Structure 1
Amino acid sequence: MKLHFLGTAASEGIPNPFCRCEHCLKARKLAGKDIRTHSSAIVDDIMLIDVSPTFSYQLMRDGMDATHFESLLFTHTHPDHFNVGELFSRMEGYGFEINHPLHIFGNDRAINGCIEVLPGYTKERFAFHCLIPFVTVERNGYKITPLLANHAKWELCYVYHIEKDGKAIFYGHDSGWFPELTWQWLEKQTT
């Protein structure tokens, strides 16, 4: 499997626009790879993990567009991961030459938040799937398992184990020490 990081920074990014510490000043001066945008990744060019506030910029920077994404996994609904307004551009009348729905996976807050922002969405453009911790779902040959993260207390936050053809990726961003149930699940994995 191929993993492409769109961004690896925390919520403030590097440089933080409201900071003049030595690290942020250095990043502004050096630019290039010293600039770190918000956390997001792509698996095999078709599965997106999180939509950051810098999503459009990240795709332009990397010479990509979002038309080929078949699945979107949300880890949680903090604004640095859940810039769901970007999905409005995929609605009919805005995005063209889109021939498949985007299957969106996440917790109940993520799914309800998407539906709220995308009024009148059509099944030709979007399909929504509410995930349950530790219950594996399959999509296009991928086995996707949401595991519990240790992050916000008011919602289920996920990290993901993604498997295909005997290969696996563990996407474990934006979490403190994982809950014991997550460690127990991971210990049982062979891929």
Structure 2
Amino acid sequence: MQATDGVRVYEPAACLADFRRLCIGVLPATEEAHHMLVTFLGTAASEGYPNAFCACGNCREARSLGGSSLRKRSSALIDGELLIDLGPDLMAAAQIHATPLDRIRYCLQTHHHEDHLDPAHFLSRSAYCGVTTAPVLEFYASSPSLARIAAALQRHAPDGALTGPEAEQKLNVRIRQVASGQTFEVGPYRVTSIAATHAPEAMLFLIEREGRRLFYATDTGPLAEDAWRMLAAASGPIHAVALDHTFGDGERSTGHLNADQFIEQVTRMRAMGLLAGDARVYAHHLAHHSNPSHPALTRRATARGYDVAYDGLSVLV
């Protein structure tokens, strides 16, 4: 474990015992019990890292190094019960990182793109695949995400409707349609959905529990002014940020961030007083063609004052 002010960073092996105790509700009560345990299940952009079909220098080095340089497509887990993005690599992540997903009660879906949403998981966690003990999943998503799910699961949802009682019972889910600009309760969490600069109706999430806040901000380009206003209106400072770093040392973009744009967003957050003094900022959603292997990227990031997420990283926020 490494401690930096109020945010503690746990290596996967070091935190596994505590994480398992948390998952079965017996984590000893401490002064940190109110902190959120955030686990990065995947940290790559849409093609994974290394890209299985690619022989570029970055992909070759990642294969050689292994470990933290191997990245699945992006998703995250909070406290073993709140999932961010029902992504295509969840099964592999659960196996590789010894992180069962059988306690998930809530899911926040950022957007409908294939690297973030795999509708087949609705079947995998239902009686259709022999699962009878999983809790009902409260699934929060935009209209385009729900439309994509309905199209994929048409024969399992009467008339393509996911919100009717028959479909919800068959799929063990309760659908909650949300849009950017809303604040809503998700179990013990208070969530504000903020418009991303990405696909239509893509969302970023400011997640709060008992005074601790995580800003989960991928996929996105430079934030729009409305997004900045919503962040400024938050009830308190942000303690951790997971921010798009897709294009790294590549060109500037309007739908993702490169390293310079990443720094510009973080600089503005600090200038506006949005970040707690001990806040940690993590580069997330990394593309193989624009970001080097994890050790090299970490050296660059450290020199510029931020951290790099990797698959299996768990942090107390």
* TM superposition score normalised by structure 1: 0.92
Match of 1:173 among 201, 218, 226: 218
Where relative contact order (Cα < 8 A, 6+ residues apart) is larger, the structure is 2
- Kept after mapping to 2: 8 A contact 1:159/1:170: yes
Structure 1 ranges of 4+ moved more than 6 A: none
- Partner secondary structure for residue 182 of structure 2: coil
Amino acid at match of 1:44: D
List gaps (5 residues or longer) in structure 2: 1-35, 158-166, 238-317
Could you tell me which residue of structure 2 aligns to residue 6 of structure 1? 41
Is 1:72 aligned with 2:103? no
Instruction: Pick which of 36-45 and 85-94 moved more.
Output: 85-94
Could you tell me which residue of structure 1 aligns to residue 201 of structure 2? 156
Could you tell me which residue of structure 1 aligns to residue 124 of structure 2? 89
Q: Give the CA deviation at 1:115.
A: 3.4
- Partner secondary structure for residue 123 of structure 1: helix
Could you tell me which residue of structure 2 aligns to residue 46 of structure 1? 81
Give a deviation string over 1:69-88, Cα, whole Å, max 9, x none: 00011101111001121221
Match of 2:62 among 9, 24, 27: 27
Match of 1:112 among 147, 156, 159: 147
Could you tell me which residue of structure 2 aligns to residue 146 of structure 1? 193
CA RMSD, aligned part only?
A: 1.5
- In 2, Cα distance between the equivalents of 1:110 and 1:96? 24
Aligned pairs, how many? Answer: 189
Amino acid at match of 1:151: H
Give a deviation string over 1:25-49, Cα, whole Å, max 9, x none: 0111121211011110001110000
Is 1:131 aligned with 2:202? no
- Kept after mapping to 1: 8 A contact 2:87/2:116: yes
List gaps (5 residues or longer) in structure 1: none
Q: Give the CA deviation at 1:174.
A: 1.4
Q: Give the CA deviation at 1:99.
A: 4.8
- In 2, Cα distance between the equivalents of 1:94 and 1:66? 15
- Kept after mapping to 2: 8 A contact 1:105/1:111: no
- Kept after mapping to 2: 8 A contact 1:104/1:111: no
- Partner secondary structure for residue 160 of structure 1: strand
Higher helix share: 2
Give a deviation string over 1:52-106, Cα, whole Å, max 9, x none: 2211101101112222100011101111001121221122231424252101101
- In 1, Cα distance between the equivalents of 2:86 and 2:131? 20
- Kept after mapping to 1: 8 A contact 2:179/2:203: no
- In 1, Cα distance between the equivalents of 2:218 and 2:99? 23
Q: Give the CA deviation at 1:186.
A: 0.5
- Partner secondary structure for residue 93 of structure 1: helix
